[in-house]
A = this chain, B = another copy of it.
Amino acid sequence: MPNDPFQWDSREDCEVRQILDRIADKWSLLVMALLENRTMRFTELLKTVDGVSQRMLTVTLRQLERDGLVSRTVFPVIPPHVEYSLTDLGRSLNTTVTALVTWTESHQSDIAASRARYDEAVAG
């Protein structure tokens, strides 16, 4: 982000927002964080990304593939075997994704404490 966001060209700004909207999405971030470790099959992802529906995982993977962040390899066996892995572009994003997930993990108690204080102040 430039130091003075007022200087953003508004068209470029809008594109950046639209991309951010796509990648700054909980399921996308979690899928990319998992694929950082290794190639995974659809059914493995479905089991591992707790709470995701089959349809939401399908949509998320299709968008990540369209964005060029994840690649999809189909093995022509019966039943079809489909594997997902990060592309080079996906890998370049992943340092940032991992940092965001790590930050969240290590600050979750701070956030919970802040929420409790806020809710108490609102109620009081």
Contacts and interface: CB of A to CB of B under 8 A. Distances in A.
Contacts of A14: 50-51
How many subunits of this chain does the assembly comprise? 2
Contact of A20 (B23, B29, B65, B96): B29
Interface in A1-45: 1, 3-6, 10, 12-17, 19-21, 23-26, 29-30, 33-34, 36-37
A3 B37 CA distance: 7
A4 to B, nearest CB: 7
A48 interface: yes
A20 B100 contact: yes
Contacts of A117: 68
Given A16-B104, A19-B108, A99-B96, A29 B37 contact: no
Contacts of A36: 1
Contacts of A55: none
Interface in A51-97: 51, 65-68, 89, 92-93, 95-97
Given A20-B100, A93-B103, A103-B96, A1 B33 contact: yes
Contact of A104 (B20, B34, B108, B114): B20
Contacts of A100: 20, 23-24, 96-97, 100
